Amino acid sequence: MTGAFSLAWIVLLLPLVSAALITLFTLKNDKLSAKISIGAVIGGFVLSLLIFLTGGTSGEHNITWISIGDFQATLGVRIDALSSLMLLVVTGVGSLIHWYSQGYMKGDRSYSRYFACLSMFTFSMLGIVLASNFMQMFIFWELVGVSSYLLIGFWYERPAAADASKKAFLTNRIGDFGFILGIIMVWAAAGSLNFTELQGIFGANPEVLGATAGLAGVLLFCGAMGKSAQFPLHVWLPDAMEGPTPVSALIHAATMVAAGVFMLCRIFFLLSPDALMVIAWIGGITALMAAVIALQQNDIKRILAYSTLSQLGYMVMAVGLHAPGAAMFHLTTHAFFKAMLFLGAGSVIHALHHEQDIWKMGGLKEKMPATYKTFLIGTLALCGVFPLSGFFSKDGILAAAADFRHHGNMVLFAFGVLAAVLTTLYMARLVLVAFHGSNRSDSASHAHESPSVMTGPLWILLIPSIISGWLPIESFVNSGIGIEHAGGHTEAPLAMAFSTLALLIGGSVAWALYGKQRETDPIADNLHGLSTALKNRLYFDEIFSGLIFITHEAISKLAGWLDRAVLGGFVVKGLYNVVDVLGRGIRLFQTGSIQTYAFLFVLGVAFVLYFVIGGIL
């Protein structure tokens, strides 16, 4: 075991130790709990940096966990371009958010529990990142789901939070069900769960999965669909905003939801073209749909949540378009600026005493200058303004979609551009309504800048949000995954032109609609039906409840029928009737007359004799 692997093990186990220490010993000591948790994640970041910088190390280290016959369940750490990059993102963004949480969660009566959960989450997420095989990945996948459940439902006394946590968990379960089916299919076909071995197997024979390759790929994608909240399993993510804002930033913007994209990149080699096409389309649809819904949301965190959905759609689409490098690139840049946006939103919410409606804000530009500046930069990065990070990463994805000679697709490219227009529109709306104009409520007029413990991480995140676009992340990841860059940059000008156009259109429409001081939303005023539909998130929740209701009803009816007719009528009553008839029959023999008994006795003797002697006469 070389040094890098030891470091990786330590990175993985530090947060677990932290979670255990907090839970077992320091629940009463809030300050110490925070220090332990933050120390663990910052330590992890430093070690990750070491791993990344020493570089060159690539490979894995496994220990056998369970050995059943030929089957070996192993736990391991795998270090390559993908995981070392992701380690940095998770621990880096994680460190800042842990730090920020100190301020945001101040005074909460479950302060220690919060940090224990956060550490637990970090541990689970690192487990996914470092996983060397499908089984380990699935275990940590589920652990992430549990941590997410704990953190969304952190304020469990609020029914909305408790419901949201349940919804997130159950929706994820649906995706995970497909994921494990896919894992089983891969295992049945290839006989291994280890990524390195699988890559070898698939490298030698791409047809290992045979005719079921598409199905297996889509099933595996179901896992990503749940975790990365892709259509139609996206419904949990906006509701997950019921959790504390740093949690939204860490889990539901920067890291956990990226796990699905990361997983797709990790298993990119075994996805068949059919499966990739499904993935690309789902991603495109999610990107566009979420952007449309975001237009008419009024809750600052929900706007960001739908924005996250939309950007995740981009990443998934990029994977589907044979550009995992672009996906990881966007994942990285997005993690930085979206975390910053969420933390900025958290700062606003904190300053306004948990007021989240943007129409009750306004004029915060003067009250909260630091928050405003960082938020604005984050918005510009998200919209893809040159030379901020979002420009490059989004451009990479659009370029992949515009690469018509290889895997590009005209419709998906159009989806992407349209989503980019809408992104600019809704983000500009958010900034203009919330920060510009005049105060629309008392809490907005009494707002003041957040403490430095909260603005500090914002400033730090500002740096990678600006510069990370210049890093050669795409090629780094592509080389790590082992694919050549598919399209080159011949289509980049086209993509760049369209994205700039999108930026201009979105920006000018937003300025026209929201540039002046307004008390209400002009879209809602003029396009009433559309606005209502969008506010209700295109009725997905209602449709799903209806579907679930109908299915539930049908299943209950079937179960009721089974219970009443088959179990109750046939088995229970049947048994009872059999016993009853037997009893009635046998009762005929019990006459109370000794002669009958004597006769039966003789009959018995006759039978015995018959069998002993074998026949009468």
Residues that bind other proteins (CB under 8 A): 590-595, 597-599, 602-603, 605-606, 609-610, 613, 615-617
Minimal distance, residue 559 CB to other proteins, in Å: 41
In whole angstroms, the minimum distance from the beta carbon of 600 to other proteins comes to: 9
What is the distance between the alpha carbons of residues 330 and 473, in angstroms, rounded to a whole number? Answer: 9
Q: Of the two residues 582 and 598, which places its CB atom closer to other proteins in the complex?
A: 598
Q: Write the DSSP symbol of residue 482.
A: T
Give the C-alpha distances (Å, rounded to integers) separating 110 from 19, 143, 230.
14, 21, 32
Residue 328 in contact with residue 381, Cβ under 8 Å?
no
Between residues 71 and 599, which has the closer beta carbon with respect to other proteins?
599
Residue closer to other proteins, measured from CB, 369 or 604: 604
Environment class of 182 (CB within 10 Å of its CB; exposed 0-12, middle 13-18, buried 19+): buried
Closest contact distance (angstroms) between CB of 584 and other proteins is 14
Residue 313: C-alpha distances to residues 95, 283, 330, 331, 584 (Å) = 26, 4, 11, 11, 71
Minimum CB separation of residue 555 from other proteins in Å reads: 47
In whole angstroms, how close is the CB of 599 to other proteins at the nearest point? Answer: 5
CB of 573 to other proteins, least distance (A): 25
**Smallest distance from other proteins to CB 577, Å:** 21
Which amino acid is residue 65, in one-letter code? W
Q: Which residue number, 463 or 603, has a Cβ lying nearer to other proteins?
A: 603
Which of 204/586 has CB closer to other proteins? 586
Nearer to other proteins, 558 or 579 (CB): 579
For other proteins, the closer of residues 565 and 582 by Cβ is 582
Three-state secondary structure call for residue 515: coil
Tell me if 346 sits within 8 A of 104, measured CB to CB.
Answer: yes
Name 324's Cβ contacts closer than 8 Å, sequence gap at least 6. 264, 265, 268, 318, 477, 478, 481, 483
Check: CB of residue 245 under 8 Å from CB of residue 342: yes
Q: Which is nearer to other proteins, 205 or 591 (CB)?
A: 591
Q: Which is nearer to other proteins, 576 or 589 (CB)?
A: 589
CB of 169 to other proteins, least distance (A): 59
Q: How far apart are CA 546 and CA 334, in angstroms?
A: 34
Residue 520 or 593 having the CB closest to other proteins: 593
- Answer yes or no: are the C-beta atoms of 373 and 465 closer than 8 Å: no
Q: Shortest gap between Cβ of 68 and other proteins (angstroms)?
A: 58
For 591, the token pair is 């006459």
Residue number with CB closer to other proteins (550 or 608): 608
Q: In angstroms, what is the minimal distance from the CB of 598 to other proteins?
A: 5
Rounded to whole angstroms, the maximal C-alpha distance in the chain is: 120
Q: Show Cβ contacts of residue 11 under 8 Å, excluding neighbours closer than 6 positions.
A: 43, 44, 47, 48, 51, 87, 91, 126, 130
- Give Cα separations from 70 to 67, 188, 313, 418 (angstroms): 7, 14, 40, 52
Helix axes 324-351, 389-402, angle to 10 degrees: 140
Cβ nearer to other proteins, comparing 543 with 606? 606
Among 541, 396, 571, which residue's Cα sits nearest to residue 475?
396
**How far is 324 from 258, CA to CA, in rounded Å?**
13
Buried b (16+ CB within 10 A) or exposed e, 455-492: bbbbebbbebbbebbebebbebbbebbeeebbbeeebb
Write the single-letter amino acid at 38: I
Quote the CA–CA distance of 386 and 272 in Å, as a whole number.
35
The minimum distance between CB 561 and other proteins, in angstroms, equals 39
Q: Considering the complex, what minimum distance in angstroms separates the CB of residue 590 from other proteins?
A: 6
To other proteins, the closest distance from the beta carbon of 163 in angstroms equals 60
Query: Is 205 or 596 the residue whose CB approaches other proteins more closely?
Result: 596
C-alpha dist (Å) from residue 209 to 70, 134, 205, 585: 21, 16, 9, 62
